[in-house]
């Protein structure tokens, strides 16, 4: 995000705002190779800033990755957690990235991570209605009337859910339980699990397979891959960054 250059210099400990203004007036500050002027704005994440010939900020390249989070791993980058975290799975990513959304400890599947703060914010904001698809194994044989309830929306303690797309998935050896594919666009905590508990079919397994057309595919559990240029463009179009 752009802000006044003297504010950036002060925040990064180069000088006070008044002294930063003096440095700018003296022509000692360059932005993308050009002499800065007083009142000029810059974006530390996008612009190269030099003060007195010394490189102050070199923006990192934007990184976009898909991770297959295994079950039993926390969606956190914090150090010192008692449980395994996704931090351990992305140690070979050269730049620091952050998850654009979450999966709970007992769930698995697709996570998107990036250092593009604006994209991450928009992907998580409910107003952009980003669809997320899950493969779900539930306890018991689910009846058509319960599937219709899920499709219409289910009343939870924090209000009515939006309608979901739901279809049966046939798998061998699951006569006593059921498999569903569900697509929702809300970001409520544990939403799929809570919806299915509400209709009397607790979740036995939950795997996110798709986010807005970005597929988990054959990516192995615990592995990551870079998103293609077309995949990044698709996400940005969905959140109106183009």
| Residue corresponding to tokens 């800033």 | 49
Residue 27 per-residue DSSP state = T
Which of 11, 26, 57 delimits the end of a domain?
Answer: 57
Whether the predicted pLDDT of 1 surpasses 80 = no
Output the pLDDT for position 174: 59
Within a domain: 233: yes
| CA separation for the pair 24, 15 (Å, rounded) | 11
| CA separation for the pair 86, 213 (Å, rounded) | 23
Which pTM was predicted?
0.78
Output the pLDDT for position 46: 82
Q: For residues 145 and 90, state if they share a domain.
A: no
3-class DSSP string for 42-94: ECCCCCCEEECCEEEECCCCCCEEEEEECCCCECCCCCCCCCCEHHHHCCCCC
Output the pLDDT for position 22: 92
Output the pLDDT for position 193: 97
Average pLDDT over residues 73-90: 93
- In terms of residue numbers, what domain contains 99? 60-128+223-242
Average pLDDT, the chain: 92
Tokens of 12: 């990064």
Q: Is 28 exposed, middle or buried (0-12, 13-18, 19+ CB in 10 A)?
A: middle
Whether the predicted pLDDT of 175 surpasses 80 = no
Task: Indicate which CATH number applies to the domain containing 122.
Answer: 3.30.70.580
For the chain, how far is it from start to end, CA to CA, in angstroms?
Answer: 16
| Residue corresponding to tokens 């957690």 | 81
Q: State the catalytic residues.
A: 104
> pLDDT tens digit string along 14-45?
888 888 999 999 999 999 999 999 999 998 87
Q: For residues 91 and 197, state if they share a domain.
A: no
Whether the predicted pLDDT of 172 surpasses 70 = no
């Amino acid at each position: 995000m752009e802000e006044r250059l003297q504010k950036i210099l002060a925040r990064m400990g180069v000088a006070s705002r008044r002294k930063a203004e003096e440095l700018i007036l003296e022509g000692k500050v360059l932005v993308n190779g050009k002499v800065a002027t007083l009142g000029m704005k810059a974006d530390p994440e996008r612009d190269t800033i030099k003060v007195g010939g010394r490189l102050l900020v070199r923006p990192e390249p934007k990184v976009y990755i898909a991770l297959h989070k295994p079950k039993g791993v926390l969606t956190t980058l914090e150090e010192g957690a008692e449980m395994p975290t996704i931090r351990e799975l992305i140690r070979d990513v050269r730049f620091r990235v952050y998850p654009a959304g979450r999966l709970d400890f007992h769930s698995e599947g697709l996570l998107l991570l990036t250092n593009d703060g604006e994209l991450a914010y928009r992907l998580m904001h409910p107003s952009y209605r980003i669809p997320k698809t899950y493969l779900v194994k539930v306890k018991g044989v689910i009846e058509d009337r319960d599937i219709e309830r899920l499709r219409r929306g289910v009343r939870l303690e924090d209000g009515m859910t939006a309608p979901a797309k739901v279809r049966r998935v046939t798998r061998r050896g699951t006569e006593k339980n059921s498999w569903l594919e569900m697509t929702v666009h809300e970001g409520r905590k544990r939403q799929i699990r809570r919806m299915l508990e509400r209709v009397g079919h607790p979740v036995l397994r939950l795997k996110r397979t798709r986010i807005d057309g970005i597929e988990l595919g054959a990516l192995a559990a615990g592995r990551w891959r870079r998103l293609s240029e077309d995949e990044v463009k698709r996400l940005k179009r969905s959140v109106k960054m183009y």
